[in-house]
Structure 1
Amino acid sequence: MADAMDIVIVASAFGMEAVRADGHLKWAQASKQAGAAGFEVRRELFAGEAEAEPQNLRALGRQIAELGLWSVYSTPASLYTVDGELDTDALRVSIEEAIALGARFLKLQLGGFAADAYAAVIADHLRCADLRLVVENGQLAQGGSLAQFVGLFEALAREGHAGVLGMTFDMGNWAWCEVAPLEAAGPLAAHVDYIHCKTAVGEGARRFPAAPAADDAQFAAVLDKLPRHVPRGIEFPFDTSRIDADAAHYVAWLGAA
């Protein structure tokens, strides 16, 4: 029997404009109906900055919890600046917002990590936060290279805080950086706490996220390399003509994959 793992639906799977127009709660309800265990709130899909105010995040978090879902808080902010410094302001604000939401995970972009991880400073910021900080491989060269992520986890260990943060392994985003996801899975699997599941179609700048085919052998091979116990997030777009059926189908399929 396959191990049980939580399936999360990322808000953007329902369509970015739909989330901005209708708000996250509607799509959290759809995620619950589809059988998901968690729901990823995307800060960039808020209709305005008022949605990021503490009282509004707390209200949304309560509503998501009342559905029986746990939440991920995703922000486009980067952990490191383009110069390789720790962006302490972005980290502090993101942690405060994630705590207000009641999120289990806080997901940031890696940004310009170079050599120093500033692990002790990160640990200090997280000292009273009951959440897991994860950084995601993005679609840009900066913040999306395999070497950066290998270097990050080596630096965290060297600085004495090996487990202070983990990784969101985005299976599809590696394509934008010309990295085979199977190549990345080997050296990074031990640090993966959350998986974004999607593939990429198209070439160059004209790439788009897509649902993996049921017989996609590479997708299955990458999943096999990654930890089975960590949550898997659906980040590819659902068919707008059959959103509810599509969501339920992929929650069940990914849970058994």
Structure 2
Amino acid sequence: MSTEIIVVTGAYGRQRVAAAGGQQALLPVIEQSGASGVEIRRELFSAPELSQLPALSAAIKQHGLTAYYSVPEPLFTTAGTINPNLPVFFAEAGTLNARLLKFSAGYPAGNLPAEQLAEQLAASPVPVTVENDQTDGGTLAAMREFFSRFGRVQAIAGMTFDTGNWYWTGESPHQACRELSACVSYIHLKAVRKDKHGFRAVPPDPDDEHWQTLLTALPANVPRGIEFPLTGDDLVAVTRQYVDLFRRA
């Protein structure tokens, strides 16, 4: 069975997504690239688009793609309580018929019992995954603590391992691979470059062994997401280049 490659709509850039008419307009590009699925980003929706999720779900199915849903919200608030908006996001993910629903961990959960989180997540029609983001909530220590405390919660399908975000938290992605590989259920692939403005995501060089080494240290049978800028006049060709590259790797 070939590796599933997922294209994150945000890889095309907020302006290009908006100019195209929204995330649904990019589905033909993703289908023609040979990708397995699409990661829909909640932050790229306009208010009217949020009310048209059934149409988007039907279009994703029509194009033969699997849906992943990314919500730019933490599971835990600054007070260490469970995000009160989770039911809204569960309903949206269910409407999209998503395979995974992705959050960040957010803030420390204090003394919150795992049973309480399990009770809340049981309402989700979609398995939940937690990503190492670029904040203090995405550090290696925070991820280690999260999966130590909550990794056995049935609704949590594991970790979205972003290969590049470790640079924003000042940590080694190789060390993170060694410690967290067993938790990983989805991989976000990106290379990172530092310039005078700080770190930024860039396309991986096909000949660069760094990202290939990371992949060999992570589970080989989990989906791989393209989450770096995809630019050019021929978006199908550009996207297909990386779909093929990551499927072979």
| TM-score, normalization by structure 2 | 0.93
- Give the corresponding residue for 1:135: 130
Mapping of residues 244-255 of structure 1, within 5 Å: 244-255=236-247
- Give the corresponding residue for 2:67: 71
Q: CA deviation at 1:163?
A: 6.6
- Give the corresponding residue for 1:166: 158
The letter for the 2-side match of 1:179 is E
Residues 106, 137 of structure 2: 8 Å contact kept? yes
- Picking from 51, 54, 61, the partner of 1:58 is 54
The letter for the 2-side match of 1:146 is L
3-state SS of 1:161 partner = coil
- Picking from 122, 134, 140, the partner of 1:146 is 140
RMSD after superposition: 1.8
CA offsets 1:188-211 (integer angstroms, 9 cap, x no match): 111111100001111585211111
The answer to whether structure 1 residue 42 and structure 2 residue 38 are counterparts is no
- Picking from 106, 110, 115, the partner of 2:105 is 110
- Picking from 192, 211, 214, the partner of 1:219 is 211
Give distance in 2, aligned partners of 1:163 and 1:125: 9
Gaps of 5+ in 2: none
3-state SS of 1:40 partner = strand
Give distance in 2, aligned partners of 1:75 and 1:163: 16
Give distance in 2, aligned partners of 1:85 and 1:43: 22
- Picking from 74, 86, 89, the partner of 1:91 is 86
The letter for the 2-side match of 1:4 is S
The letter for the 2-side match of 1:94 is F
Give distance in 1, aligned partners of 2:153 and 2:231: 43
Q: 1:118 to 1:74 in 2, by over 3 A?
A: farther
- Give the corresponding residue for 1:156: 150
- Picking from 4, 9, 18, the partner of 1:11 is 9
Give distance in 1, aligned partners of 2:220 and 2:245: 14
Q: Which moved more, 1:244-253 or 1:15-24?
A: 15-24
Q: CA deviation at 1:84?
A: 2.3
Give distance in 1, aligned partners of 2:93 and 2:174: 31
Q: Which moved more, 1:165-174 or 1:126-135?
A: 126-135
Give distance in 2, aligned partners of 1:72 and 1:26: 16
Q: CA deviation at 1:123?
A: 2.5
The letter for the 2-side match of 1:78 is P
Q: CA deviation at 1:125?
A: 3.1
Give distance in 2, aligned partners of 1:91 and 1:204: 38
The letter for the 1-side match of 2:231 is D
Q: 1:97 to 1:162 in 2, by over 3 A?
A: closer
3-state SS of 2:244 partner = helix
CA offsets 1:143-173 (integer angstroms, 9 cap, x no match): 221000000111125xx63773411101011
- Give the corresponding residue for 2:30: 31
The answer to whether structure 1 residue 210 and structure 2 residue 221 are counterparts is no
Number of matched pairs? 248
CA offsets 1:3-60 (integer angstroms, 9 cap, x no match): 62100000011121111232111112110000000001111111x223223xx11210
Residues 116, 155 of structure 1: 8 Å contact kept? no
Give distance in 2, aligned partners of 1:108 and 1:234: 17
The letter for the 1-side match of 2:4 is D
| TM-score, normalization by structure 1 | 0.90
